Amino acid sequence: MRRISKKRDIYFIDKFHLTPDEVTGLGTFVELVIMTDDEDALPSLQDQVQQAAQRLDLLRYPEETRSYRRLLFVSN
C-alpha cells in the first residue's frame, strides 16, 4: 500500500477543532469541525461551522470530500 506523507496540526478554538494538513503532492487542506454525540444538535452545529468557516475566510476555497488517497492515487 502506498503511503501518504502529511504534516498535521490541531488547534482548538472554543468548541471548534481546526485541523490544517500539508499533504505532499497535494497541498494544504483545512478541516473545521465540532464534535458531538447529539444528533438533534447537528443542524445548528452545521450552521455554526459554516459561520466559522466564513469568518476564517475558508469558503473562498472549494470543498473537497475525497480522501487524500483517492486524490493522490486514483485517476478521476
| Spatial CA neighbour of 26 closest among 68, 59, 62, 75 | 68
Q: Which three cell numbers stand for residue 59?
A: 469558503
| Calpha distance 30→48 (Å, rounded) | 16
| Spatial CA neighbour of 65 closest among 24, 22, 31, 41 | 31
* pLDDT at residue 74 in the model: 80
At 2-21, the pLDDT tens digits run 889 999 999 999 999 999 99
The whole-model pTM stands at 0.81
| Calpha distance 16→50 (Å, rounded) | 11
Q: Confidence class of residue 76 from pLDDT cuts 50, 70 and 90? A: low
Class (C level, CATH) for 6-73? mainly beta
